[in-house]
Amino acid sequence: MQNKSLVIVSILVLLGLFIGGGMYYKNLQTQKSIALAKEKALLFERPYSVVVGNKDAKVQLVEFFDPACETCALFHPYVKAILEKYDGDVKLVLRYAPFHENSIHAVKMLLGAKEQGMFMEVLDFMFATQNYWVQHHVVKPKILWQMLGQIKGLDMNKLSEFMKDESKNYIIKQDLEDAKTLDVTKTPGYIVNGKPLQTFGLDNLIELIESEL
């Protein structure tokens, strides 16, 4: 009789271990996949990234851009129009991809402008005046610097200090690294909710965004 209770207890213990272990393992796997998904989401949008529009928008439009890229400048107003049209449903995440020579200096100036809350003003200005400070696909940082003085409200002394400070350089490095991971080799590189724009073009971009709405 003692034998029988021992058998029953051992069966219960084994079954308990099986079910408990199973639940523990599944739980561990779920946590792992959540962590993985978070890490993947970070590829598209870093905590420091410039986000235009509703942060909780359904559609995340990631744009890898270079301030010296002509097509980026051309597309800039259209992208803004898209944001306006689908206000609240689409957000723009701006990522740096300074592929042009010396473009890294222009991006640094943008980062400095962001510190002063003047990011969009300076970016609009850079795109509008691109012809003057980009010559034969090479950025002329000195010309750009002199031109930035025309922008009202931009504190050039502060910006000058920022240019010497290297603590924010990791942002450019990280964005370039993410561009490489995501296989973005040309600017502007658009990714909508994780899906890269396959065939470049404004109509295709709008189509892709609308398919996600």
Q: Alpha carbon of 27 to those of 13, 35, 82: distances in Å?
A: 21, 12, 41
Give dist(CA 22, CA 31) in Å, integer.
Answer: 14
Q: Alpha carbon of 143 to those of 71, 112, 134, 169: distances in Å?
A: 21, 17, 9, 22
Q: Which of these segments, 5-13, 80-88, 163-171, 181-189, binds other proteins (CB under 8 A)?
A: 5-13
What's at 203, amino acid-wise?
D
Q: Which of these segments, 7-15, 37-45, 54-62, 159-167, binds other proteins (CB under 8 A)?
A: 7-15
- Cβ atoms of residues 130 and 73 within 8 Å: yes
Q: How many CA atoms lie within 13 A of 94 on its CB side?
A: 20
Q: What is the CA radius of gyration of the chain?
A: 25
The least distance separating other proteins from the CB of residue 37, rounded to whole angstroms, comes to 19
Nearest to other proteins of 21, 194 (CB atom): 21
Q: Which of these segments, 8-16, 43-51, 125-133, 167-175, binds other proteins (CB under 8 A)?
A: 8-16
Q: Which of residues 9-68 bind other proteins (CB under 8 A)?
A: 10-11, 14-15, 17-18, 21-22, 25-26
The least distance separating other proteins from the CB of residue 22, rounded to whole angstroms, comes to 4
The least distance separating other proteins from the CB of residue 18, rounded to whole angstroms, comes to 5
Nearest to other proteins of 29, 169 (CB atom): 29
Nearest to other proteins of 7, 202 (CB atom): 7
